[in-house]
């Protein structure tokens, strides 16, 4: 078992047992089209398959972890404490692009990270190191971008933050060597899978109340049309003999139930939320086409249906 390197919104570490309970007794390759922090993937340590995410910086990070783990660790070890003074030899030691004062090392590195579209000397390893550094030192480990694509999370308050994560990087590198890494739309998996493979879908979604419906779903980001397209893909894979497991917002229950999937409700705690008092349990579903009798834990009592 490998621990995820990054903190990432929507992580599924608290649902691992429930996901494994839906696994088929055997399968061939493993595919994860919405990778994020990769909690299930790193816990599973698959021998082969594919992973994917639409965030190019996230995918670059995992490629650097796979291909240059020791270089990445060395670069991370060169970073200073986030509260320390800016490094005078680096860009943005005094002010950002908008001429606002840079007060400490963290904000200097954040500005350097956000300078990618404007820089002629883009360094993929440096960007990967900055991503992990900011992820482990920003407020609440939250990855958030503004309307222009800039990472805008403020500095966190940690007594001894670990941004090097050397052991995790080395272990993750070995696991990532076994899979293909993609940076594209989730639909890529249709051309990658074969009968007997296992696909885990964990799309971006907005947790909502049990009384909400699909019509209340957000139009922004991964919206209604994307959700409908994802369901169509899951149905296609089912017809092709591919094992499908999917986690999603509770408002998707009816869609997957009517499509013939086995759907059950699960409770999941918000692992990342700017309001600590709001990290409560929210409604999620796990849907699968794997019949109970063919699951790894066949005969285990199922959870109550979502009503």
pLDDT in tens, 234-270: 999 999 999 999 999 999 999 999 999 999 998 765 4
Confidence band for 186, pLDDT divided at 50, 70 and 90: very high
Name the 3-class secondary structure at 145.
strand
Average pLDDT of span 284-299: 89
The mean pLDDT value for 166-173 works out to: 98
Checking phi first, is residue 45 left (phi over 0); if not, alpha (psi -120 to 50) or beta?
left
Per the model's pLDDT, the better-predicted residue between 17 and 222 turns out to be 17
Over residues 25-42, the mean pLDDT reads 97
Q: Kindly state the average pLDDT of the residues 29-43.
A: 97
Residue 188, token pair as written in the block: 């890529």
Question: Can you give the pLDDT at residue 260?
Answer: 98
Reported confidence tier of residue 179, pLDDT bands at 50, 70, 90: very high
Q: 35, 52 in Cβ contact below 8 A?
A: yes
70, 178, 212, 301 from 48: Cα distances, Å: 23, 5, 38, 31
Instruction: Locate CATH 1.10.1020.10 in the chain.
Output: 62-164
Strand partners, 248: 285
Fold of 13-54+184-294: Rossmann fold (3.40.50)
Kindly tell me the sign of the dihedral angle through the C-alpha atoms of 66, 70, 75, 76. positive
Rg (CA), the chain: 20
Band (294; pLDDT cuts 50, 70, 90): very high
Q: 54-68, 110-124, 163-177, 209-223: which range is least confident on average?
A: 209-223
| Rounded CA separation 71/132 (Å) | 14
When the pLDDT of each residue in the chain is averaged and rounded to a whole number, the result is 89
Q: Looking at per-residue confidence, does 146 or 232 come out higher?
A: 232
Q: How far is CA 144 from CA 15, 231, 270, 274, 293, in A?
A: 23, 27, 16, 11, 42
Q: Tell me, what's the pLDDT at 149?
A: 82
The CA distance from 41 to 45, in Å, is: 6
Question: Which residues of the chain are in CATH 3.40.50.150 domains?
Answer: 13-54+184-294
CA distance 5 to 135: 10
pLDDT at 208: 66
Between CA 118 and CA 114 the distance in angstroms is: 9
49-53, 56-60, 115-119, 216-220, range with the lowest pLDDT = 216-220
pLDDT score of 304: 35
231-234 LR contacts (CB < 8 Å, sep 24+): 231/255, 231/256, 231/259, 233/186, 233/187, 233/189, 233/190, 234/201, 234/259, 234/261, 234/287, 234/289
- Tell me the residue length of the chain: 307
More confident residue, 259 or 208: 259
Determine contact, residues 295/23, Cβ cutoff 8 Å: yes
Residue 95 · residue 101 · CB < 8 Å: yes
At 199, give phi and psi (nearest 5°): -120, 130
| H helix or E strand, kind and range, residue 176 | helix 166-176
Q: Is the pLDDT of residue 85 over 70?
A: yes
Instruction: Judge whether residue 26 has pLDDT over 70.
Output: yes
What's domain 62-164's architecture?
Orthogonal Bundle (1.10)
CA distance 16 to 39: 8
Compute CA 304 distance to the chain's CA centroid, rounded to the nearest angstrom: 28
Q: What pLDDT does residue 145 have?
A: 87
Q: Check residue 274 and give its pLDDT.
A: 44
- Where residue 205 falls among pLDDT bands split at 50, 70, 90? confident
Average pLDDT over residues 273-283: 51
The predicted pLDDT at position 219 comes to 45
Whole-angstrom distance, CA of residue 31 vs CA of residue 33: 6
Phi and psi, residue 176, nearest 5°: -65, -20
* pLDDT class of 18 with cuts at 50, 70, 90: very high
Determine the pLDDT at residue 214: 66
| 101-141: pLDDT as tens digits | 999 999 999 999 998 766 666 799 999 999 999 999 999 98
């Amino acid at each position: 078992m490998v621990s995820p390197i990054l903190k990432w919104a929507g992580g599924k570490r608290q649902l691992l047992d429930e996901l494994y309970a839906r696994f088929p007794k055997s399968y061939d390759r493993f595919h994860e089209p919405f990778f994020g922090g990769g909690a299930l993937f790193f816990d599973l340590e698959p021998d082969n398959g594919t992973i994917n995410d639409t965030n190019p910086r996230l995918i670059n990070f995992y490629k650097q972890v796979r291909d240059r783990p020791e270089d990445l660790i060395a670069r991370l070890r060169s970073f200073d404490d986030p509260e320390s003074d800016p490094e005078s030899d680096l860009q943005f030691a005094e002010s950002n692009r908008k001429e606002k004062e840079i007060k400490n090392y963290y904000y200097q590195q954040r500005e350097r990270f956000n300078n990618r579209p404007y820089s002629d000397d883009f360094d993929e390893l440096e960007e990967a190191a900055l991503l992990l550094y900011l992820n482990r030192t920003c407020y609440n480990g939250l990855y958030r971008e503004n309307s222009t694509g800039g990472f805008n999370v403020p500095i966190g308050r940690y007594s001894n933050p670990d941004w090097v994560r050397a052991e995790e990087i080395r272990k993750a590198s070995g696991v990532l060597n076994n899979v293909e890494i993609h940076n594209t739309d989730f639909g890529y998996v249709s051309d990658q899978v074969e009968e007997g493979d296992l696909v885990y879908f964990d799309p971006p979604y907005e947790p909502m109340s049990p009384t909400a419906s699909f019509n209340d779903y957000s139009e922004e980001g991964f919206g209604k049309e994307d959700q409908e397209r994802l369901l169509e893909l899951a149905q296609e894979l089912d017809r092709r003999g591919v094992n499908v497991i999917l986690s999603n917002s509770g408002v998707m229950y009816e869609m997957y139930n009517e499509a013939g999937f086995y759907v059950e409700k699960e409770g999941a705690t918000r692992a990342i939320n700017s309001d600590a008092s709001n990290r409560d349990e929210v409604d999620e579903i796990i849907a699968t086409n794997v019949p109970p009798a063919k699951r790894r834990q066949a005969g285990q009592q199922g959870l109550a249906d979502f009503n």
